[in-house]
Amino acid sequence: MSNNEGVIYRISGPVVTATGIDARMYEVVRVGHEKLMGEVIEIHGEQSVIQVYEDTSGIRPGEPVLSTGQTLSVQLGPGLLTSIYDGIQRPLQTLEEVMGVFITRGVDADGLDLEKKWDFVATASAGDEVVGGQIIGTVQETETITHKIMVPPKASGTIKNIDSGEFTVTETVCTLDDGTEIQMMQEWPVRHPRPYTQKYAPDTPLVTGMRILDFLFPLAKGGAAGIPGPFGSGKTVTQQSLAKYSDAQLVVYIGCGERGNEMTEVLDEFPGLIDPNTGKPLMNRTVMIANTSNMPVAAREASVYTGITIAEYFRDQGYDVALMADSTSRWAEAMREISSRLEEMPGEEGYPAYLSSRLAEFYERAGRVETLNGDDGSVTVIGAVSPPGGDISEPVSQGTLRIVKVFWGLDAGLARKRHFPAINWLNSYSLYPQSLNQWFRDNIASDFPEVRTEISALLKVEAELQEIVQLVGSDALPIDQQLTLEVARMIREYFLQQNGFDPVDAYSGVEQQYAMAKAILTFQDEAKKAMAAGARLQDVVNVPARTELMRARFAEGYLESIGGLVDDMVGEITGTVEAN
């Protein structure tokens, strides 16, 4: 006979020890008279160790602890989109209504609005055989996203009854012949990956509109990327650009242990932003989770799981979902804090020994899959990492790099030079080009991979030449190498730098990226030709049409005009031969 009520034995910050309950690991319990939410994270004989998601000041030994029999779960169904949650899926708007502007404790709130009626359209009919994950109806949740209602993963049978109409998320919309009632809302434990049929190899890029990412270091839909960088190098701006412009159908944005004002900025800005892929407000496709640095640390630990479970749920409906976690270092620190309260034997730098396996498990929930109903869906994970002092030899960066296939390394030096995005092109990498090359050849240009190789080779050569220039000055280099430096400067200033705040330049389609890269190579070829025929480097570099070509990227319709601008440039460069 299990006992579901015990008492508190010890309190140390967010960690509470209780006796007298027979709890299971990761079961949710209610702690103290105020019924604070907590989760069992360790069991020692009679004692259950609980991490509490709210502040524990004022709680005493001897207060009651109730077990709920549930593990930490999220509510999934219509109403998720456009929401903003804390780390344990409590809507911040509801919390404001109940608590006022400061977050107090002991308030429970449903993740979904249980009162709201949604217009359910049945797509299956009575008599249909259904299995877990199968879509039985739809709800037009926002203008751009159709929420597909699925049979819960473990249910299956023949539909006895199904009705279209107005329902709340807890009303039964469908009954199976074995008596199973299906509602629009499902609950799912956050620490368990949702099931799928099989994982595919990614073959489509997640187009982000950022030239350095798409062109040089592409990320695949269903892939995982890490963005480490010291403070001030633009991690958050990069993450936000990805949330705004990437061509995922849905975005889950987790602000994990970050600045409150920054989350507010996102909240203020997103509703007014238009998705370049659909022309509709961005908020329509976004779910946000905000657990700022001063909110309870245990809820910060849970926030990434809450986020990825929501992402998987939409993946199961056949969507391409992108998840941004800013920052995974804060998540790791939350683990470290809890672990130290448990007096666990630490691994590197005080982090728990299971840090790297937790990171791996999390990133492994990314992927492109065949869903239970045979659709194709994906979750792409992009995790920011905040290494202390910008030194990526630390455990969180290293644990991340071991598992992700894309590394976008932010660089304080570039940020200081106001080179944005401050992604270092020399140490960043992507392991996806091989699997994505076919897509680029088919959809953009047959020589796309070759152009990419040429551009990145030029940047590498530049880095070597710069070392010499530092010593002897650029005038001492042979003229062809001086040209290489000019071409590389063009790559950096015209191609790699991108103004995230400029309405036009912020988003650059892959076709345009390719055209710009080709324009650079054309400049190189023409300049070589002209100089072989006697033109001076200075004259070639300073042709006004080249400046015009570069500047025009801030004007609308650049993709259409670029061909003409390149022709002008070629004409003028040829002209420098005659002028000489």
Partner 1 sequence: MTSKEYKTITDIKGPLVFLEKTEPVAYGEIVTIRLSDGSMKNGQVLDTSDDAVIVQVFEGTEAIDRQAGVKFLGDVFKLPVSRDLVGRILDGAGRPRDGGPDIVAEEKADIIGAAINPYSRQSPHDFIQTGVSAIDCCTTLVRGQKLPIFSASGLPHNDIALQIARQAKLKDSDEEFIVVFCAMGITAEEYNFFRTDLERTGALENAVLFVNLADDPAVERLITPRLALTAAEYLAFEHDYHVLVIYTDMTNYCDSLRQIGAAREEVPGRRGYPGYMYTDLAMLYERAGIVKGKKGSITQFPILTMPGDDITHPIPDLSGYITEGQIVISRELHQAGIYPPINVLPSLSRLMGGCIGEKTTRDDHKKVSDQMYAAYAEGRELRGLVAIVGEDALNERDLQLLKFSDIFEDKFLRQDRDEDRTIDETLDLCWNLMSSIDEKYLVRLDRELIDKYGQHTE
Angle of the 479-490 helix axis to the 510-532 helix axis, nearest 10: 160
**Tokens representing residue 73 in the block:** 């779960």
Least distance between partner 1 and beta carbon 293 (Å) = 3
Across-strand partners of 287? 252
Contact status: 177 vs partner 1 (CB under 8 A): no
Q: By C-alpha distance, which of 362, 324, 307 is closest to 239?
A: 324
The answer to whether 108 contacts partner 1 (rule: CB under 8 A) is no
Q: How far is the CB of 24 from partner 1 (least distance, A)?
A: 23
Residues 288, 85: Cα–Cα separation, whole Å: 6
Nearest C-alpha neighbor of 165 from the set 191, 200, 193, 139:
139
57, 198, 434, 446: which one binds partner 1 (CB under 8 A): 57
The size of the chain, in residues, is 580
Token reading at 372: 């239970």
Contact present, 149 and 139 (Cβ < 8 Å): yes
Our finding on whether 62 is near partner 1 (CB under 8 A) is: yes
Q: Minimum Å distance from CB 48 to partner 1? A: 14
Please pick, from the candidates 260, 271, 563, 571, the single residue that binds partner 1 as defined by CB under 8 A: 260
Q: Which residue among 21, 95, 540, 562 contacts partner 1 (CB under 8 A)? A: 95
Cβ nearer to partner 1, comparing 229 with 367:
229
Contacts of 75 (CB under 8 A, 6+ apart): 89, 110, 111, 112, 169, 185, 186, 187
Q: Which is nearer to partner 1, 35 or 192 (CB)?
A: 35
17 binds partner 1 (CB under 8 A): yes
Q: Which of 66, 267, 465, 477 binds partner 1 (CB under 8 A)?
A: 267
Q: Is position 548 an interface residue for partner 1 (rule: CB under 8 A)?
A: no
3-state secondary structure (DSSP) of residue 456: helix
Q: How far is the CB of 16 from partner 1 (least distance, A)?
A: 9
From the list 44, 115, 179, 261, which residue makes contact with partner 1 (rule: CB under 8 A)?
A: 261
Q: Is residue 99 involved in binding partner 1 (CB under 8 A)?
A: yes
Question: Within 304-363, which residues bind partner 1 (CB under 8 A)?
Answer: 330, 333-334, 336-337, 340, 346, 349-350
Q: Are 355 and 362 in contact (CB under 8 A)?
A: no
The answer to whether 59 contacts partner 1 (rule: CB under 8 A) is: yes
Q: Which is nearer to partner 1, 264 or 357 (CB)?
A: 264
* Of the residues 6, 226, 390, 409, which one makes contact with partner 1 according to CB under 8 A: 390
29 versus 135: smaller Cβ distance to partner 1: 29
Q: How far apart are CA 540 and CA 523, in angstroms?
A: 9
Work out which of 5, 96, 108, 567 binds partner 1, going by CB under 8 A: 96
Crossing angle, helix 544-551 and helix 558-579, to 10 degrees? 170
One character per residue 271-300, x = contact with partner 1 (rule: CB under 8 A): -------------------x-xxxx-x---
Should residue 13 be labelled a site residue for partner 1 when binding is judged by CB under 8 A? yes
Which residue in the set 391, 464, 525, 578 belongs to the binding site for partner 1 (CB under 8 A)? Answer: 391
Residue with tokens 């061909």: 563
CB 275 within 8 A of CB 284: yes
Closest distance of CB 176 from partner 1, Å:
39
Token pair recorded at residue 66:
């109730």
Q: Does 103 bind partner 1 (CB under 8 A)?
A: yes
- DSSP symbol at 213: I
Q: Which is nearer to partner 1, 16 or 379 (CB)?
A: 16
Least spacing, CB of residue 296 vs partner 1, in Å? 8
Task: Between 353 and 426, name the residue whose CB sits nearer to partner 1.
Answer: 353
Interatomic CA distance for residues 523 and 197, integer angstroms:
50
* Terminal Cα distance for the chain, rounded: 98
Question: CB-wise, 44 or 198, nearer to partner 1?
Answer: 44
Smallest separation (angstroms) from partner 1 to the CB of 274? 19
* Closer residue to partner 1 in complex, CB, 231/429: 231
User: Could you tell me how many residues of this chain bind partner 1 (CB under 8 A)?
Assistant: 66
Q: Which stretch in 58-66, 160-168, 243-251, 516-524 sits in contact with partner 1 by CB under 8 A?
A: 58-66
Stretch of 113-121, 416-424, 427-435, 502-510 lying at the interface with partner 1 (CB under 8 A) = 416-424
What is the four-CA torsion angle of 492, 494, 495, 501, rounded to 10 degrees?
110
Question: CB–CB of 427/409 below 8 Å?
Answer: yes
Q: How far is the CB of 466 from partner 1 (least distance, A)?
A: 13
Label residues 433-453 b or e (16+ Cβ within 10 Å = b): bebbbebbeeebbeebbebbe
Tell me the backbone φ, ψ of residue 322, rounded to 5 degrees: -115, 135
* Residue 348 · residue 291 · CB < 8 Å: no
Choosing from 1, 44, 268, 393, the residue that interacts with partner 1 (CB under 8 A) is 268
Query: Which of positions 208-237 make contact with partner 1 (CB under 8 A)?
Result: 230-232
CB contact at 8 A, 222 and 380 = yes
Site for partner 1 in 455-474 (CB under 8 A): 473
Task: Identify the bridge partners of residue 291 per DSSP, sorted by sequence position.
Answer: 256
Q: Which of residues 36-55 bind partner 1 (CB under 8 A)?
A: 55
- Angle, in degrees to the nearest 10, between helices 479-490 and 448-472: 120
Contact window for partner 1 (CB under 8 A) among 152-160, 252-260, 270-278, 557-565: 252-260
Q: Got the DSSP string for 240-287?
A: HHHHHH---SEEEEEEES--HHHHHHHHHHGGG-B-TTTSSBGGGGEE
The verdict on 264 binding partner 1 (CB under 8 A) reads yes
- Least distance (Å) from partner 1 to the CB of residue 442? 39
List of residues contacting partner 1 (CB under 8 A)? 9-13, 17, 55-63, 84, 92-93, 95-96, 99-104, 230-232, 255, 257, 259-265, 267-268, 290, 292-295, 297, 330, 333-334, 336-337, 340, 346, 349-350, 386, 388-391, 416-418, 473, 475, 501
